[in-house]
Structure 1
Amino acid sequence: MPEAQELVQLPVIIVEHQQEVEEAYSSSATDQHYSKSLGPPRGYKWWLRIVTYMLFLLGGQSTATLLGRLYFDQGGQSKWLSTLVQTAGFPILLPFYFIYSSSKLAASPHNHTKHAPSSLPLAMVYATLGLVTAAACFLCSYGLLYLPVSTLSIIFASQLGFTAFFSFFLNSQKFTPFIINSLVLLTISSVLLAFQPDSTLLAGVSKGKYTIGFACTLCASALSGLGMALSQFFFRRVIKNESFRAVLDMIFFPSIVASCLILIGLFASSEWKGLRIEMEGYGLGKVSYIMTLAWTAMCWQLFSIGAVGLIFEVSSLFANVISNLGLPIVQVLAVVLFHDKMNGIKVVAMVLAIWGFASYIYQHYIDDHKSKPENANANEVSKPFTVEEVNEL
Structure 2
Amino acid sequence: MPTMVNSHETTNSSENARLHGRKMYWVAVTLCIIASVGGRSAGSLLGRYYFHEGGHSYWLRTLLTSVGSPLLILPLLLNGPTQYSSFPTRSLKIKYLSICTLLGILVAANNFLYSLGFYYLPVSTFSLLCATQLAFTAVFSIIFVKQRISHYVINSLVLITLGAVLLGIQAKGERPGGVKSGEYKWGILSTILGSALYGFIHPLLQFVFKKLEKSSFAMVLETQALICMVASGVAAVGLMCSGEFKHISKEAHHFRAGERGYVLTLLWSAISWQMCVVGTYGLVSMVSSLFSMVVSTLTLPILPVLALLLFDDKINSLKVIGMVLGIWGFVSYAYGGYQESKKAEEIPLPASPV
Structure 1 equivalent of residue 78 of structure 2:
99
Corresponding residue for residue 336 of structure 1: 309
Could you tell me which of 52, 56, 65 is aligned with 1:86? Answer: 65
Which protein shows a greater Rg?
1
Q: List gaps (5 residues or longer) in structure 1.
A: 1-38, 107-112, 377-393
1:53 and 1:310 in contact (8 A); partners too? yes
Structure 2 match to 1:313: 286
Question: Are 1:299 and 2:272 counterparts?
Answer: yes
Q: Residue 147 of structure 1 corresponds to which residue in structure 2?
A: 121
User: Matched residues in 2 for 1:187 and 1:215: separation?
Assistant: 15
Gaps of 5+ in 2: 1-16, 349-354
Mapped pair 1:354 → 2:313? no
Backbone CA RMSD of aligned residues: 2.0
Structure 1 SS opposite 2:27: helix
Counterpart contact for 1:100–1:244, Cα < 8 Å:
no
Does residue 122 (structure 1) correspond to residue 110 (structure 2)? The answer is no
| Residues in 2 aligned to 1:304 and 1:176: alpha-carbon distance in whole angstroms | 27
Distance 1:56 1:179 in 2: 23
Paired residue for 1:164, among 131, 135, 138? Answer: 138
State how far apart, in whole Å, the 2-side matches of 1:180 and 1:320 are: 14
CA displacement at 1:115 relative to structure 2 = 4.3
Residue by residue over 1:216-235, the C-alpha shift from the partner in whole angstroms, topping out at 9 and shown as x without a partner, is 11111111111111110000
Structure 2 equivalent of residue 387 of structure 1:
none
User: Is this contact kept in 2: 1:114–1:240, CA < 8 A?
Assistant: no
| 8 Å CA contact 1:139, 1:216 repeated in 2 | yes
Partner residue, 2:256: 283
The separation in 1 between residues aligned to 2:282 and 2:307, in whole angstroms, is 27
Offset of 1:197 from its aligned partner? 5.0
| Contact 2:144–2:207 (8 Å) recurs in 1 | yes
Candidates 24, 33, 47, aligned match of 1:45: 24
- Equivalences, count: 328
Distance in 1 of aligned mates of 2:195 and 2:107:
11
**Residues in 2 aligned to 1:224 and 1:74: alpha-carbon distance in whole angstroms:** 27
The alignment status of 1:173 with 2:147, answered yes or no, reads: yes
The TM-score with structure 1 as length reference comes to 0.79
CA distance in 1 between counterparts of 2:242 and 2:214 reads 39
What code does the residue aligned with 1:124 have? S
- In the alignment, the residues of structure 1 paired with residue 82 and residue 306 of structure 2 have an alpha-carbon distance, to the nearest angstrom, of 37
Query: CA contact under 8 A between 2:252 and 2:258: conserved in structure 1?
Result: yes
2:10 is aligned to none
Q: Is the 8 A contact 1:57 1:302 kept in 2?
A: yes
**In 2, Cα distance between the equivalents of 1:189 and 1:207?**
22
Q: Distance in 1 between matches of 2:287 and 2:78?
A: 23
Q: Is the 8 A contact 1:201 1:210 kept in 2?
A: yes
Q: 1:105 touches 1:243 (CA, 8 Å); kept in 2?
A: no
Kept after mapping to 2: 8 A contact 1:182/1:359: yes
Mapped contact 1:114–1:241 kept (Cα < 8 A): no
> What amino acid is aligned across from residue 234 of structure 1 in structure 2?
V
**SS at structure 1 position matched to 2:147:** coil
Post-superposition CA distance 1:233-258 (Å, at most 9, x none) = 00011x22232221111100011111
Structure 1 runs of 4+ aligned residues shifted over 4 Å read 39-42, 113-117
Q: Which residue of 2 aligns with 1:386?
A: none
Question: Residue 259 of structure 1 corresponds to which residue in structure 2?
Answer: 232
What is the Cα deviation at residue 66 of structure 1? 0.3
Matches of 1:246 and 1:125 in 2, distance apart?
14
Determine the C-alpha separation between the residues in 2 that align with 1:333 and 1:340: 9
Moved more, 136-145 or 271-280: 271-280
* 3-state SS, counterpart of residue 79 of structure 2: helix
